[in-house]
Amino acid sequence: MKKLLFCLLLTSFSNVFSQDSCVVKVFPNDCLNCYVGMKKIEFSDENIKKTIVFPNLTKPEVNAYLSEVFKISDTNKFNIIVSDSIYNSINNALTSEVYVYNEKKLYDHSLLKKFYGFAEFGPREIKIPDSIAFSAATTLINTEDYFFITDSKFAKYVLISKHADHKLTVLTASDLTTEINFHKISGDTMCYHMFSKYRDILKDANMDMMRLNHSFNKRNIMASFIMAPDIIVENNEAGLSYKPGIIIFNNPKDYSILRIREESLPEGYHIFPSFFSEHKGDYYLQLVPADKTMDEQYLFGRFNLKEEDLVFSGFTDYKLPSEYLPAGKFKSLRKILTPADPYIFLQYSLSYYNLDNDKTYKLPLDAVDLKFDMPGQSMSLLKFEYNYRFVDAYISENTIKVLYEESGKHYLAFIDRIRNSLIEKKEITDFPKPIKAGPSFYSEDMIFYLTKDNSIVVEKINFN
């Protein structure tokens, strides 16, 4: 019945639900703060058609909401509907909601109190000051309120608010090099004591501050690896290394750090600080063996969270796939993993893993061909060639959308989740600006990326 009323609503008001339009469902029992998004809607682009839906209130009540509560200066900008049936057809929460439409289809849905403007839902470009430089080691994550950028080479995090002001916050490795953070990562006081005592010596090795490693994390979690410089003295000889931890941001001023209990790791394996994910209460980290020439290699392990410590509980069944064999040939190749719940994808492989049933599958695409060419056995001349590189995936109920690169071009493959069969494959048009980081899915039919001229671009996926 709800769907029928919703369809009738779309049909009856088709002039309203055209490209760029919105419907505000007003919940009368909300507090005043829950209506704060109404001003963003009132003063948005005049070309955006706007509808306000009330339940069956009296005319004086409706007028009071418009003038006294919302303080709308010109009600002619809105189409006002007072109807219990229409109200109930779009009532999905006991608070006021905003429904955004594009080409007569529901594009996005938000609570009115969290509505920051139409730019949140549509194509846009956010210019970052040119004074902030980004390296080729930059990664970009999209969350509800922020774009989160990690630059492991230039040692900084950049958080950009998705609110209208696009407030920008930069946190450097130096900002995070504190005694309390050392204690959280190492679990003891010795790590920071040795760091402080020999910091001048560590400076010569470029290890006098925290190291920030990028994290190919799932959407909506601002997380990265943070590494504490560590000095270990054995047999009167000092060794230099890093202790890894996970830093998770709620906002620029609020973050937590998870320690990894290295003593719990399986013998012969250590953390590869590039992949971290959480799924249904379990945590997953990538592991690599000390002997990287082994053909039989596990790719990541499952961890339990005990207080603020991640403790290894066992390997998953995902192992180094045939594309990377023999492993000795590719021992220097980073095996980057990317999560898209409930799946884990590998950068240069068709192999992917389902965390829900612990099974490995292969994408129904052309075989991957990895080649190393080392003329004259000189590492400086090393060439790496591939005909497939996984970029990102978007998971819906019946479909896996795989964004990948092939021979310098980007494609989108539509995969049937049940049959693991290829539905279709489309080539994506060339991007209007050179890309420095990304692209990744912003939503089902939109992507976002960081350009070489320091802009974050969000745009619809277009095909050749």
pLDDT in tens, 138-156: 999 988 788 999 999 999 9
| Cα gap 257→224, rounded to integer Å | 10
> In the prediction, which pLDDT does 282 show?
94
Residue 391's contacts (CB-CB under 8 Å, 6 or more residues apart) are 403, 404, 405, 410, 439, 440
% of residues, the chain, pLDDT over 90: 62
| Weakly modelled stretches of the chain, pLDDT under 70 | 1-19, 103-105, 107, 116-123, 163-165, 215-218, 374-382
> In the prediction, which pLDDT does 380 show?
61
> In the prediction, which pLDDT does 445 show?
85
> In the prediction, which pLDDT does 61 show?
95
The answer regarding whether domain 2-120 maps to CATH 3.30.230.10 reads no
> In the prediction, which pLDDT does 123 show?
52
Residue 7, number of CB atoms within 10 A of its CB: 11
